[in-house]
Amino acid sequence: MKNVPIRIISPNFELLGEIDDYESLQFIRRFYKVGEFELHINANKVNTDILIENNLVLLGSHFNKVGIIMHRENEIDENGETTDTLIIKGPTLKGIMSRRLIVPPTNGNGYESHSGAVETILKNFVNNNVVSPADIDRKMPQMVIVTDQGRGKQDSWRSRFEVLSDKLAEIGEYAQMGWNVTLDIENSQWVFDVFEGRNMTVNQDTLPPVIFSTDFDNIKNQHFVQSSIGTSNVGYAGGKGDEADRLIQKIGNTAGFERIESFLDCSNADNTTELLTMGQQKLNELKRILTFEFQLIPDNTFKYEQDYDLGDFVTAQSKKWGITMDCQIVELTEVYEAGGTSLEATFGTSIPTIIDKIKNIDKTSKLVEPKAGGTGDPGVSLQYSWNGTQLGVRLEGDSTYQYVNLKGDTGAQGPKGEKGDKGDPGTTEWEGINNKPSTFPPSEHTHVKSDISDFPSTLPANGGNSDTVDNKHASDFLLMSAYLAETKPSTNIIRSNLGNPSILEAGMIDGEINNKLWFYNASKINFEISDDDITYTPFEVSDIVKKKLVSGNNNANITFAKGKYLRITIDPVGYVYLNYIYMYFSSQGNNIKVKCEKKRDDEESWITVFDYNNSASGWPAHMLIPHTAILFSSASIARHYNHVRITIQATAQTNDYPNMILSGLEWYGGYPAGKRTIYSWDEDKNVTFPAEVKAPSFKKTDGTEVAYVGDIPTKLSQFENDIGAGGGLNIAASPTEPTEPTLKTGDWWYKEL
């Protein structure tokens, strides 16, 4: 056996990819029953994304070795942590027969019945329930049946609502005829056929015999099981009828101590012929177990799949145990691992599992037809009624209840409990207060200046500095008649008019500013993921990651698989306008596509703003996409939109990196007036719009500070000397504020009093 690559094929027969660097693969073939496979592979390897449900796994070019993926899981280590190991499981292709029951025809006796050669019986069951069923919804259009050759002994079988694969296994094992479903890629078909094993034992001379023995150095790790537990060799088959009238036939002739008897429920057999046939079939299910298990050395002495194969009859021998038996190969397990390959074989009777035993019990229960019994005696009910702690009981038809008090005696006083918490303060009505005063001083009152004795005429009243800021009296500012043109009063608060920075400009401020999220409220941002851009499911992202993502903090990452669609929907908090998107991402060798949409509450569908279909990639990269401005708010105003969203797809490429990493997503535009004048933040980085600006200390040109009102210039000449006359400054003197062109920005105005 050589290491084998596996090819992944879709249910529509499309070759999706190939994998040969898996950690381990176990493929079990069974002659009568459905086989299975299990694959272990690192989830980060190429093409693991196509190992999905209902895709087919083909071993090399062996079209008789095909599995259906029906199970996908990630492995957990001993510490409970998820590893990178991906586990893929499923049945072999013949497992599709497990998807159908045997549904009896409506015009029959409640059973689907067939007689003739065993091959014909098997193929009729498949035809009526898979290929050409009466209910067209049950049809598998891919399935075809190889032409019937009428092989096998003559027999009769019936069934109703049994799993088709179980019935095929039961009939096949009874008649020693196997079956399989193979893959026909050229014709896009699944092919059902019946097989007979070759006789290659030492007791025939038609074919070269095949012997498995330690003497031939072609086996190791032997395991032999011979068991009669739960078996029977003589059965009494019971057909239709009740008790003494029931038809009974004996099956089997073993006598004496070795005779093991059992009752065989064949209640649906209509006559003696059917009863004998059905009884023999059921007794065969209870036969003695005789099983030889070997780990074979595949190409020592005899070559696997050439000199011997699944279903062949060979001779197995263990001289150590003194056992030599002619037996059939009923199961083969092919194992492919990094350390090499191995082949394990089961000869003889397969050991029934607990599932097999449960199926036999369930199958027997289905054969028993329910029968109505005779009419019983009229019953009498008891009626109950509660009256406090008393329970009343009366017979049906009685008019009164008989009461019994169920209240027990008072128990002993329990131990004192712990002191409880102090309760909330109570309330008292006005009438409940004793010795309350009859009058009260008013809660609010005013005084005029004349009511206050020794009222100061100047501040500070104590002659100190309690009215100063940076050692400047309030009067120092109030009495000044000169103002910088760049500093203007507004509602008695000095504000700095440094312009209207955009969101982009604000983003350049060093620090993560929470109020950048003025319209990016974390609760208003919704992340979703999809395989097809149609059906989306929630994609969990924490609030802190949402805030960091939209504020340009590249320490916050969102990772999603290539080929997926990540959709981010944002609902408004207040009014803004949006006009371009900035992204910082790493597509890791894959390509990225971006789509932007907008929607109003009174419209059903989303409107595409742009669909950036040009594939881009980067490790990492920046992307800036300008777009038509979106007026974004929660209001129902014409031309305003109430929802926006962006959809990002990392299109799959052939590489070893399966993920897309999004590190920054900022949707730029502008805040409305009054929301972007100045950005400042406190120690918690909460932004104030606009920020109050404290005036610095006023200084004269000689470096000395203006300390009190007496230092304020009272003449234009003094003012010129203080600021440096002749320094290129334009100083205008006027009782009213001049206008351009007399006074421009940067000029000085001295108010004449």
The CA distance from 374 to 354, in Å, is: 38
Task: Please state the rounded mean pLDDT for residues 247-265.
Answer: 85
211-215, 514-518, 587-591 — which one is most confidently predicted on average?
A: 211-215
Task: Please state the rounded mean pLDDT for residues 649-661.
Answer: 70
The pLDDT score that the predictor gives to residue 673 is 46
pLDDT band at 743; cut points 50, 70, 90: low
The CA distance from 93 to 79, in Å, is: 36
Q: DSSP letters of 531-561?
A: SSSSSEEE----HHHHHHHHTT-TT--EEEE
Residue 579: Cβ-neighbour burial (10 angstroms; 0-12, 13-18, 19+): middle
The pLDDT score that the predictor gives to residue 577 is 76
Q: pLDDT, tens digit, for every residue of 668-695?
A: 666 554 444 333 444 444 444 444 333 3
Q: Using the CB atoms, write b or e for 499-511: b if 16+ within 10 Å.
A: eebebeebbeeee
pLDDT band at 309; cut points 50, 70, 90: very high
Q: What is the DSSP letter of 664?
A: E
Handedness of CA 584, 586, 591, 597 (dihedral sign): negative
**At residue 264, does pLDDT exceed 80?**
yes
Q: pLDDT, tens digit, for every residue of 428-484?
A: 777 777 777 777 666 666 666 666 766 665 555 555 555 555 555 544 444 333 333
Q: What is the DSSP letter of 214?
A: G
Residue 567, token pair as written in the block:
């959709």
**Domain residue spans in the chain?**
6-91, 97-195, 474-489+695-751, 503-676
- Residue 181 and residue 192 in contact, taking contact as beta carbons nearer than 8 Å: yes
Task: Please state the rounded mean pLDDT for residues 732-743.
Answer: 69
The pLDDT score that the predictor gives to residue 648 is 87
pLDDT band at 67; cut points 50, 70, 90: very high
- Within 600-730, strands assigned E span 607-616, 621-632, 640-641, 643-651, 659-670, 680-681, 687-688
What are the φ/ψ torsions at residue 280 (nearest 5 degrees)? -65, -40
Span of 8-22, 263-277, 543-557 with lowest mean pLDDT: 543-557
Q: pLDDT, tens digit, for every residue of 490-512?
A: 333 333 333 344 444 444 443 43
What are the φ/ψ torsions at residue 72 (nearest 5 degrees)? -140, 125
* Nearest in space to 237 (alpha carbons), one of 192, 269, 202: 269
- Residue 143 and residue 129 in contact, taking contact as beta carbons nearer than 8 Å: no
For the packed helices 164-175 and 272-284, what is the interaxial angle rounded to 10 degrees? Answer: 90
The CA distance from 516 to 550, in Å, is: 8
Give me the CATH code for the 503-676 domain, please. Answer: 2.60.120.260
Q: Which residues pair with 692 in a beta bridge?
A: 495
Task: Please state the rounded mean pLDDT for residues 112-124.
Answer: 95
Residue 746: Cβ-neighbour burial (10 angstroms; 0-12, 13-18, 19+): exposed
401-410, 524-533, 537-546 — which one is most confidently predicted on average?
A: 524-533
**At residue 12, does pLDDT exceed 80?**
yes
**At residue 139, does pLDDT exceed 80?**
yes
**At residue 8, does pLDDT exceed 90?**
yes
Q: Which percentage of the chain shows pLDDT scores above 90?
A: 30
For the packed helices 118-126 and 164-175, what is the interaxial angle rounded to 10 degrees? Answer: 170
The pLDDT score that the predictor gives to residue 618 is 66
Cβ neighbours for 241, distance < 8 A, ≥ 6 positions apart:
247
- Residue 334 and residue 343 in contact, taking contact as beta carbons nearer than 8 Å: yes
The pLDDT score that the predictor gives to residue 335 is 94
The CA distance from 718 to 729, in Å, is: 15
Task: Please state the rounded mean pLDDT for residues 732-749.
Answer: 66
- Residue 526 and residue 540 in contact, taking contact as beta carbons nearer than 8 Å: no
The CA distance from 223 to 183, in Å, is: 34
**At residue 355, does pLDDT exceed 70?**
no
How far separated are the first and last CA of the chain, in Å rounded? Answer: 110
Q: pLDDT, tens digit, for every residue of 122-133?
A: 999 999 999 999
Count other C-beta atoms under 10 Å from residue 725's C-beta: 13
Span of 228-232, 661-665, 693-697 with lowest mean pLDDT: 693-697
Task: Please state the rounded mean pLDDT for residues 524-540.
Answer: 89
Task: Please state the rounded mean pLDDT for residues 62-88.
Answer: 88
Q: pLDDT, tens digit, for every residue of 371-423?
A: 555 677 777 787 878 777 888 888 777 878 888 887 777 778 878 878 888 87
- Residue 495 and residue 486 in contact, taking contact as beta carbons nearer than 8 Å: no
The rounded radius of gyration (Å) of the Cα atoms in the chain is 46
- Residue 24 and residue 40 in contact, taking contact as beta carbons nearer than 8 Å: yes
- Residue 517 and residue 551 in contact, taking contact as beta carbons nearer than 8 Å: yes
The CA distance from 671 to 687, in Å, is: 14
- Within 20-163, strands assigned E span 24-30, 36-42, 56-59, 66-68, 71-76, 82-91, 112-117, 143-145, 154-159
Residue 190 vs residues 136, 149, 193, 376: alpha-carbon distances, Å: 18, 19, 10, 56
Asked, as a colleague might, if the bond just before 133 is cis with ω within 30 of 0, I would say no
Count other C-beta atoms under 10 Å from residue 277's C-beta: 19
pLDDT band at 552; cut points 50, 70, 90: low
